[in-house]
Structure 1
């Protein structure tokens, strides 16, 4: 396919009108994700402890737009964030922050998430965030652990109010 055909296809896709159901589903997913982040931000303000981190925005996309995905299940969201953050903190503490150690931390996070069947793509950013900001070990609890649990509970509550079955399973794979 040449470039003009690709461009033409992209323009055609942009002209198709989405169904009303698709628009409704998209708006509801966006509302759910926004509310989940709002909850974390309010908790952060009220309790003066960190609850927010950038990868949680990506987690919300999966939790609210793709709740049936294996990647959206509590085991994956909570486990993926905890494992990847633990890897980032460990590598940072043991060898410091270098180009190679950043790469090693992300690579090991992927390996450990696969081994534990807790793959959650947004968690792959956790080691980078932790190492590049010099986050302390307490970061594993606040915001990572507690924040991931709050997101899962927010998704559970939200999907229940919408009449959806979430999660498909809690901690089994």
Structure 2
């Protein structure tokens, strides 16, 4: 990436994370949702910092977070011990992402968030997959594609 492309990507990452954080706080009715922003922030680094990487493809971003959120919520419901639930959720997310061909490393943080995210997230149940996870991923993807036009490159062109 040239310095110009890096600057445009950094500004895009800022805008995407601010938008996702705002959306999460509105949905979760909380002014402080750092765990949601953690996996969103990790995704922003991946898709804006390495736009041509396989893990930055749209399906990887949205599918990886979504399947990991499903696994995380299921582990929360099925395994009462938090340490065991998180220890099971990560490898199950890895296997699910592998078989669905949507490997996205920040998905691991999403699975863990479903387990340790607290009462607000637990009260969402499987709705956690849709809001905020799916919508945050969609926000990141939308901003990433807009940023690509300013960088004079399409980050997904190699995978069309």
Report TM bin, short chain. 0.7 to 0.9
Other-structure match for 1:119: 103
Q: Output aligned runs, 1:83-94, within 5 Å.
A: 83-94=67-78
CA contact (8 A) 1:97 1:132 kept: no
Other-structure match for 1:38: 18
Deviation at 1:169, TM superposition (A): 6.9
Q: What whole-Å deviation, never above 9, does each CA across 1:107-156 have from its counterpart, x for those lacking one? A: 10001001111000111111111101242322111110111111111101
Q: What whole-Å deviation, never above 9, does each CA across 1:59-83 have from its counterpart, x for those lacking one? A: 0111111111110011000000000
Other-structure match for 1:55: 39
Equivalent position to 1:156, from 109, 126, 145: 145
When Rg is computed on C-alpha atoms for both structures, the one with the higher figure is: 1
| Structure 2 residue ranges without an equivalent (≥5) | none
Q: Aligned partners of 2:79, 2:20: CA distance in 1, in Å? A: 32
**Root-mean-square deviation over aligned CA pairs:** 2.2
Aligned pair 1:79/2:63, yes or no?
A: yes
Q: Aligned partners of 1:89, 1:113: CA distance in 2, in Å? A: 15
Q: Aligned partners of 1:163, 1:22: CA distance in 2, in Å? A: 11
- Assess, with a 3 A threshold, how the Cα gap between structure 1 residues 79 and 93 changes in structure 2: closer, same or farther: same
TM normalised by structure 2 equals 0.83
TM normalised by structure 1 equals 0.77
- SS of the residue 1:49 aligns to: helix
- Greater RCO (Cα-Cα under 8 Å, separation 6 or more): 2
Q: Aligned partners of 1:44, 1:133: CA distance in 2, in Å? A: 13
Q: Aligned partners of 2:22, 2:88: CA distance in 1, in Å? A: 34
Aligned residue pairs total 149
